Structure formats: C-alpha cells, structure tokens
Amino acid sequence: MADHDSNSNSLLENQTPNPDGNSASENESDASIDSLARQVQESLSLAKRHKFWETQPVGQFKDLGDSSLPEGPIEPPTPLSEVKQEPYNLPNLYEWITCDMETTEMCTEVYNLLSNNYVEDDDNMFRFNYSKEFLHWALRPPGHYKSWHIGVRVKSSKKLVAFITGVPARLRVRDSIVQMAEINFLCVHKKLRSKRLAPVMIKEVTRRVHLENIWQAAYTAGVVLPTPISTCQYWHRSLNPKKLIDVGFSRLGARMTMSRTIKLYKLPESTVTPGFRKMELHDVPAVTRLLRNYLLQFLVAPDLDENDVEHWLLPKEDVVDSFLVESPETHEITDFCSFYTLPSSILGHPSHSILKAAYSYYNVSTKTPLLQLMNDALIMAKHKDYDVFNALDVMQNDSFLKELKFGPGDGKLHYYLYNYRIKHVLRPSELGLVLL
C-alpha cells in the first residue's frame, strides 16, 4: 500500500535535465520505465480505499468517466443554522486555536512548525521553508477570515503541533463564478503522524468555511486522493547549476562537465525586452485588465479584481516579484510575468542550508513572445540570486519549458475541488490557477 506519509513531493523532486547528456535511446527506455512505474503506482492508489475521502463530497474514483453525472456542486448548501456550531472533537490532550497571523509571535510559531514538519521530497533531502513574510502575505488576502487559520496545540505545553488554513477566492469554472476556499498548509507534527488527525483538521476547516456560507474549495497535493481535476508536473530551470548539483537537487548530465553545464545555463546580464520593468502600484488597473482578459481562455481560473491583483501581484520583497512590459511608444501595458519565492531547507548538507527557488506565478503575453518574456523573468531571477526557477505545465507554460532549458521533475502535483464535480479530467493547459 502506498504510504501517504512519504509525501511524493513533486515540488522538490530531483531534476535530471537532459541538456545534451543521455542518448535518445537511453532516455526513451528510462522514460518508459518511469511511466510504467508511474502507471503501476497510480493504479495501486486508485485501488486503495480512502476511508475519509470516500465520505466527502468529492469526485469518487468509481465515478471516473461517468458522464451522466452533472457538472457543478455535488451537494447543495445546507441552511446555516444546520452547520455544526461547535468544533470537532480532538483527542483530549489537544486543543483548537485560531491563529492570529497579524502578530509576529504567531507567525513565528507557525513558521517553526512548518519549517520543521512541512513537505519534504521523497528522499528527505529538502523541506519547504515558507518565510514568515510569505505566510503573512499568503494568509491575509482581501476578505480573509481569521477563523480559517487553524492550529492545534498540546494543552499542557501549548506547543503548536498541527495547522491548516483557508483563504477566500472566487474561481471561475467554465462560465460559473464560484466562491471558494483555497485550502493550504495542512501540516501535522512528525511525531503525531498516522493518527487520523488530518481528517479532523480538514473537517474543522470545512465547518468554518461553511459558517461563512461558502461550500466549495480548491487545493493541491502531491498525493493521489479522490479525485484530481487535473494532474500537473513541475519543471525546473537551473540558475545556479553548480550549487544544485552540489546539494543533490540535480545531477551532472552524462558526458557533461561542470563547466559545460554552467555555460549551458548561463543567462544574459540584463533583460532584452524594451519597456520591461517592475510592476508598481499605479499599474494595478492595467494589470488587472490584462490578466482578467488572459485568464478567460482557461477552464478553471481565479476571478481577480483590482484588490486581489494589488494583494497577490504587487511586488513584495522576497515574497512575490512581478514585471511588466510598458510599450515605449504607447505606454500601454502589454505583457506581464511574476514569480513567488519559496526557499527549501537543504537537510544535512555540510555547506549549504537553503535552496533559493522562484516559482512561476501568473504570466501574460500579448505583444512580447512568451518565450522572450519568460527568458527575461529568468534573467531577473538569476540577477536576484535564485538557484532555480520552477514552473508547472499549466496555462501556456508548455510552450517555453523545453526551449528555455527547464527539465521535468519526477513527481506530480494534483489539483482538487471540494464539492464541485468536473465532468472530464482537465489537461494542465486548461488550468489557469496557481496555488501557493
């Protein structure tokens, strides 16, 4: 049986980019063994029982391919008076808390829990290290609810041992705008794993979301649960190949030397697109128009207004970076690119402790070719000393990944909706959504 504790973390998997390393036949047989292994693993996880998820209003594996089921909410909302008013029961030694993420003390406690216990790769070489500033940003968008930032403490010592969060978001699914919660940062302390605490955390956040009269949610995970609306892949672009190889994030390609590898990934000193500059506050209306229009082409995408854009996309040092192209002639804003900062701790390495990673966020090209725009984003990330630039194969990303020397990661990221059925599994390119 697959063990859900071994988080197959698609976000951190070692990359084995293949600049001009392995021969084609070696690659093909590697790829077919990989894909066979994946198919076996996937069919095993499909056969697996999900004692908790089978009880929830989510797409069930047995219904896969049943196109008679309607698209949309799986269960209707219940009257608010019928939503359970008291929190779910926790084992006696523990208590619920609502985390006030406005205080540095609370941000520090959450930071400590996550930096020691959150997502690791399969080989336990890297662990996500979301910064306090990032958490403060990620959990306080316009209209956020404090009650959706949920912690569990040990009653006696007050130690924080589990966490889960939601933030409100409007998502568009085809033509419907749906109020949702984006659920993130589910974490149970390593010493409390496999005790069925996660289902209680999920039920409690669901209850608190229902109390706000919201009945749908979106989330991602590296593990297969009932049932992904889409399965995406991370790709990695080396910016500091020497460090990535030193720390075991990537390997030297066959018949490659370090100096050839460094040369292969070298980027120009400065960006090439005329009018390329950092986004500023006064750009919010233009960026909102550009992004809203662009996201219309995807089946599932956020419905962002100016307040959302100001919060999620206005640059914030070491949290989110955004750039745009302002036409030197017309001063029109024609293109946009952005990435967020999510370092990982490097576990047990003698000389390196942090891997500085940029994650592609929302990008829009109307005049500048996407390839050139993203190359400028890479140049900016390199300039800011990131070691690696990661991107999912969502939206139109597939069109630049190979050409800009991204290599595929070996894990997957699955996207899920709670209490919303989608008839067909979506291709990553039909998804216009990036969750942090």
Ligand X SMILES: CC(C)(COP(=O)(O)OP(=O)(O)OC[C@H]1O[C@@H](n2cnc3c(N)ncnc32)[C@H](O)[C@@H]1OP(=O)(O)O)[C@@H](O)C(=O)NCCC(=O)NCCS
Q: What is the binding site for ligand X (CB under 6 A)?
A: 4-5, 7, 50-53, 117-119, 186-188, 193-199, 221, 223, 225
Nearer to ligand X, 336 or 418 (CB): 418
Whole-number Å distance between alpha carbons of 53 and 144: 26
Q: State the virtual CA torsion across 380, 381, 385, 386 in degrees, nearest 10.
A: 180
Q: How far is the CB of 410 from ligand X (least distance, A)?
A: 17
Nearer to ligand X, 199 or 248 (CB): 199
Nearer to ligand X, 203 or 384 (CB): 203
Q: How far is the CB of 182 from ligand X (least distance, A)?
A: 12
Would you say 224 and 64 are in contact if contact means Cβ atoms under 8 Å apart? Answer: no
| Residue of 113, 342, 404, 436 marked catalytic | 436
Q: How far is the CB of 412 from ligand X (least distance, A)?
A: 12
Nearer to ligand X, 189 or 242 (CB): 189
Q: How far is the CB of 435 from ligand X (least distance, A)?
A: 9
Nearer to ligand X, 217 or 364 (CB): 217
Nearer to ligand X, 4 or 412 (CB): 4
Nearer to ligand X, 193 or 278 (CB): 193
What Cα–Cα distance (Å) separates residue 368 from each residue in 254, 292, 293, 335, 378? 35, 18, 16, 6, 15
Nearer to ligand X, 206 or 341 (CB): 206
Q: How far is the CB of 340 from ligand X (least distance, A)?
A: 16
In the residue annotation, 113 being an active-site residue is answered as no
Residue with tokens 């889960």: 164
Q: How far is the CB of 218 from ligand X (least distance, A)?
A: 12
Cis amide prior to 330 (ω within 30 degrees): no
Q: How far is the CB of 43 from ligand X (least distance, A)?
A: 16
Looking only at the bridges linking them, the beta strands covering 217-221 and 176-188 are: parallel
Q: How far is the CB of 162 from ligand X (least distance, A)?
A: 7
Would you say 287 and 314 are in contact if contact means Cβ atoms under 8 Å apart? Answer: no
Whole-number Å distance between alpha carbons of 4 and 394: 25
What Cα–Cα distance (Å) separates residue 39 from each residue in 2, 27, 36, 118, 234? 13, 18, 5, 27, 18
Residues with a known catalytic role: 436
